[in-house]
Chain A
Amino acid sequence: MIRAYGPALALIGLAALVPFAVSANTVLNFIVFALIIALAAQGWNLLGGLAGQFSFGHAAFFGTGAYAAALLQTRYGVNAWVAFALGIVLAAAIGWVIGFLSFRSGLRGSYFALVTLAFAEVLRILANASAFTGGAAGTLVKLDVRPENFQFVSRAAFVWIAVALVGAVLLMTIAIMRARFGAWLTAVRENEDAARALGVDTLAVKLKAITLSAAITGAAGALYVQYFLYLDAGIAYGPWISIEALIAPIIGGIGTAFGPVLGAVALHVFGEAAKLVAGGVPGIDLVLYGLLLVATIAFAPDGLMGLLMRLGRRKTKEAR
């Protein structure tokens, strides 16, 4: 038990201490944003990493979580915390529907990836055109800084909430990987026919995975809108978040519990550093993301986690 959950608990504890050590708003901003991406990536990793179903449209879930959280507050006066929870539920529902439609018809691999991309794009265009979502002007959540509104004076509070969410998903991922559901996810990823022969209901397993995955990425979207208090179709359903959600786990270590978190943080440290060095060149961080992705796939297909594991093994060998 300690061996399985110890490192995760230690990491969560450390992360929770960060606001005591750092008070600069830019740094806290950076941490919250990186953690939101980490959360979205954790959602992607559950479906893409563990179950092997590569989605190219996790924006559909991120955006649904975000729009639901925002619109329920602005249009229906729902309490922000309740809206946050409902945002997660609605994102999960969208996940189930997309999963049902595509897995039911047996879509796999690149076909599944393309269909998810299409769903996200359709949602983006609808959100951009509809008056209900505020159209191209976007939606503003009213600034009213009170804890019961899920708005806080100090950014530290957001850091803690983000750490709590990422930490909870991290522990849940480890628990899943150690349970029957995790074994079934891996079986589906490795060989669906063999899994069916062993009594695994592959459709049900994939539906559960995409629903849970969508809920987690939806939570990231809802947290995003609560932090920045503004949303438009490009942010919510734009390809940027689909790409971030899949690059982070691939760089961090696909199919591992820590990979998405590690990858998201590394990616954004790298991006910020690039902006500092290259300064004014717009979009330089995106170019570098691409290079980093190519380098990772070519030289470290198991991502940063794979590199760390190899390093760890070499250390223990030297110790002997």
Chain B
Amino acid sequence: MLSVASVTKRFGGLVAVDSASLAVAPGSITGLIGPNGAGKTTLFTLIAGFEQPSSGTIVFDGTDITALPAHRRAERGIARTFQIVQPFAGLSVVENIAVGAYLRHPRRADAQAKARSVADFLGLNGMLDQSAAALTVAGRKRLELARALATEPTLLLLDEVLAGLNPSEIRDMLPVIRQIRDRGVAILMVEHVMQAVMSLCEHIHVLAQGKMIAQGKPAEIASHPAVIEAYLGQGAAKRLQAAPSGGAHA
């Protein structure tokens, strides 16, 4: 449903994303991983329409959306969350979610009802009237997710929704992400928590220094030499192979 074809983004002399391609199948969870500074978030902002690519095309549901601004992409069904959560601090939780819900429900009562049902789904129903600024980190991550879901997307872009959560909060979040997928929303996620990526994603793309270096099923990616090198440094894959028992020679 989403296909990114050899997209490049230059910031002055820096090539942040270098001819990267990826695809997201309907109803799937696709992962986008890579070392720090690989260009994952830049690629995300290109897909969400916050930046225009220097070259390449982005096709969503059969239409070329490369030139569309962010709000028009949201209308078409692409929602995103932010790596650094961006709540409307002056608004309550339910009002925050309602801003997203207004996209498909122009009437206040409908938008509020939609916001409540999304809040319910994400376990935010106990704090509807709290100020968004008063939420915990985990609460804000859920709010970020709730707002995006309230726009009723068909493709959800998750930028490190698990970052900053403790292990038990991550355990609580994984089934939520699966449930969103089961409701028919395709998900593309940037994530550093590898356990989560390996257990959630059906397909993974690996970005390093702006280039796509590998893609495939989680198991293939975990043993892919290029991926190991990108994460652990040049020659790491060979050294690991030379010592298959793992660390015996150290």
Q: Which residues does A use to contact B, with CB under 8 Å?
A: 178-180, 183-184, 186-187, 189-191, 193-202
Contacts and interface: CB of A to CB of B under 8 A. Distances in A.
Given A180-B106, A183-B95, A193-B50, A198 B100 contact: yes
Contacts of A193: 50, 82, 86
A179 B71 contact: no
6 A-B pairs closest in CB distance: A199-B74, A190-B88, A194-B86, A199-B103, A196-B70, A180-B102
B98 interface: yes
**A178, A186, A196, A202: which has the most chain B beta carbons within 10 Å?**
A196
B86 A199 contact: no
Contacts of A180: 102, 106-108, 111
A193 B72 CA distance: 14
Contact of B151 (A186, A190, A198, A202): A198
Q: Indicate the member of A180, A186, A202 with the most B CB atoms within 10 Å.
A: A180
A181 to B, nearest CB: 9
B102 A197 contact: no
B48 interface: yes
Query: Which size bracket describes the interface of B in this complex?
Result: 20 to 34
A189 B48 CA distance: 21
Residue of A180, A189, A196, A197 most packed against chain B (CB within 10 A) = A197
Interface of B: 48, 50, 69-72, 74-75, 79-82, 86-91, 95, 98-100, 102-103, 106-108, 111, 147-148, 150-151
Given A180-B102, A193-B82, A199 B91 contact: no
A108 to B, nearest CB: 16
Given A180-B106, A191-B88, A197 B70 contact: yes
Contacts of A194: 82, 86-88, 147
B86 A200 contact: no
Given A183-B99, A190-B90, A193-B50, A198 B148 contact: yes
Contacts of A195: 99
Contact of A201 (B71, B81, B89): B71
A179 B103 CA distance: 12
Contact of B90 (A178, A186, A196, A198): A186
A183 to B, nearest CB: 5
8 contacts: A180-B111, A183-B95, A183-B111, A193-B82, A195-B99, A196-B50, A201-B71, A201-B72
Contacts of B74: 196-199
Contacts of B70: 196-197
A197 B108 contact: no
A187 B86 CA distance: 11
Listed residue (B79, B91, B151) with the most chain A CB atoms within 10 angstroms of its CB: B91
A184 B99 contact: yes
